[in-house]
Structure 1
Amino acid sequence: MSERSKRTVKKRRGSTVGLPNFVPIVERYKQAVVGIEVVHEPAQTRLFPIGPLWHDGSPSYRSVNIGTGFIFDPKGHILTNEHVIHSASQVLLRFYGRKRPVHATIVGTDYVHDIAILKTHLAAPKLILRIAKPEDICVGEWVVAIGSPLGLDHSVTAGIISSKDRPLKIGDREYPKLIQTDAAINRGNSGGPLINMRGQVIGMNTAVSQSSQGIGFAISAEVLRESIDKIL
């Protein structure tokens, strides 16, 4: 083997040929993702596709739900799942790099499609996540999910788009065009973005199959766009 061939083999062994580099996507867009904590008083017994309930042991048995959201326009509007903030007494947002949570107001909701829009008093954001168009979504492409699983803010998981246009019924909601992904989605990821390697939001993480591994679902960008226009 020639010296040139040896150097080529060594280089290939030390590289990750064919694997994507998620670091630039995460570093660029993590500040546009927020953790959400919702307070309900008094506590209620409710079921969500993803997002746990617990109480803090106080006499009022205040109940708390957690989720994720992301900034999607220059005005600072934040998108999340309606089931995350449903019947909320208070909605608190945890921004990347801020020690204290920020109070949010609910601009509007679309119960049928499980989508809600929030707003804060903060100045216009420097960075936003743009929502993809339907033609930008391809089965088999790499995606990244950023969210707050189990309350662990700004956790990152990765996978591919397993399928799209999956119809699914959860409770009294019917989701017509869900994206299926094998990126890990857990409790607290609800409302978070599913991002392709071009930095576009191709879906909103919404549900996970508890009876299997690697089967999560996100509301497609097409439905997100329609719902945003309806709400705003």
Structure 2
Amino acid sequence: METPKATWMSFFGEKASSRGNGRRGEKPLSLHIRPAKRETRPKRDKADAASRPPHPANIFVEVVRKAQSGVVAVRTLARDRDTVPLPWPYIPFFPPEERRDVAPGTQFGSGFVIHPRGYILTNAHILTQAEEIHVKVGRETFPARIAWEDRRRDIAVLEVRPPRPLSPLPLGSSERTEVGEWVLAIGNPLGLENTVTVGIVSAKHRAFRTPEHDYEDVIQTDAAINPGNSGGPLLNLYGEVVGVNAAIIRQSQSIGFAIAVDPLKPLLTPFLPKG
């Protein structure tokens, strides 16, 4: 088996500047990271598999297997590459051979498929002043356009033109979701695609405002949400989307917020499959 090549993670300031990466006077911190080897399932005897019921702890595994193909990575390049506001610290992650392509004004986020024809739900704030938008689905990358957005609610729908139908994630009910219920966040934190974190619903119906957005009904969770998770799904144990990961409190640990999905459904009707 071929040994995976090492990659690097670099930590910079809040935006990428054409005058150089990071805040003035600060040196970037680089961590040497080796990508995880592709996991292979162990072979099991059919009789053994049939006689052994699934372990309760492995319920997360099934949720991830079903949902991962519907989660995407979003990368944008802004028109004004010196003044792009970011909701959290800018932390790019690219292997050395791709670093030359990381231009100032590049932002990273997540999203998920809501229609097999190529509609993808994400956060509006990662599209700020976007001149170019690219979406990575599996191993394929497509140019994307903004089909619709509501900046006050921090929601946007992207459209791509895939050669084959995509795998949409089903929308669940945020209202029926209980405090204390298990949830999973899947996304592109720090550029690490398809990262899965697990937690519980800590609270419901939170509300807060920023200068750009009104978060009127959000789910609070302790599932780890990091830079780049923005726009990704918060899933229940049925693999249904109950929220859109949107924000964190920087000074805290384990306090993240996802926009509740129920109030979004009427707005998304034109982009959802019929029936």
Q: TM-score scaled by structure 1?
A: 0.83
Report the AA paired with residue 108 of structure 2.
I
Change (3 A) 1:49 1:231: farther
1:2-60, Cα deviation, whole Å (9 max, x unpaired) = xxxxxxxxxxxxxx986462111111110100000001134042333347277x789xx
Show the 5 A alignment for 1:111-130.
111-130=151-170
| Residue equivalent to 1:86 | 128
Root-mean-square deviation over aligned CA pairs:
2.5
Change (3 A) 1:203 1:113: same
Report the AA paired with residue 92 of structure 1.
H
CA distance in 1, matches of 2:79, 2:100: 13
CA distance in 2, matches of 1:199, 1:73: 16
Report the AA paired with residue 31 of structure 1.
S
1:74-102, Cα deviation, whole Å (9 max, x unpaired) = 33210000001121111011112x1x521
| Residue equivalent to 1:7 | none
**Count of aligned residue pairs for this structure pair:** 213
Change (3 A) 1:37 1:175: same
CA contact (8 A) 2:77 2:107 kept: yes
CA distance in 2, matches of 1:57, 1:51: 21
SS of the residue aligned with 1:84? helix
Q: Aligned match of 2:241 in 173, 197, 201? A: 201
Q: By how many angstroms is 1:221 displaced?
A: 0.8
- Where has structure 1 moved over 4 Å in runs of 4 or more? 16-20
| Residue equivalent to 1:10 | none
**Relative contact order (C-alpha < 8 Å, sep 6+): which is higher?**
1
1:21 aligns with 2:59: yes
1:30 aligns with 2:68: yes
Q: TM-score scaled by structure 2?
A: 0.71
CA distance in 1, matches of 2:85, 2:135: 22
Q: By how many angstroms is 1:193 displaced?
A: 0.2
SS of the residue aligned with 2:83? coil
Report the AA paired with residue 187 of structure 2.
G
CA contact (8 A) 1:185 1:205 kept: yes
SS of the residue aligned with 1:62? coil
Q: Which moved more, 1:41-50 or 1:116-125?
A: 41-50
CA distance in 2, matches of 1:193, 1:51: 21
Report the AA paired with residue 204 of structure 1.
V
Q: Which moved more, 1:132-141 or 1:158-167?
A: 132-141
Identity %: 37
Report the AA paired with residue 115 of structure 2.
D
In structure 2, runs of 5+ residues without a counterpart are 1-53, 93-98
Q: By how many angstroms is 1:127 displaced?
A: 2.1
Change (3 A) 1:30 1:135: same
Q: By how many angstroms is 1:178 displaced?
A: 0.6
| Residue equivalent to 2:37 | none
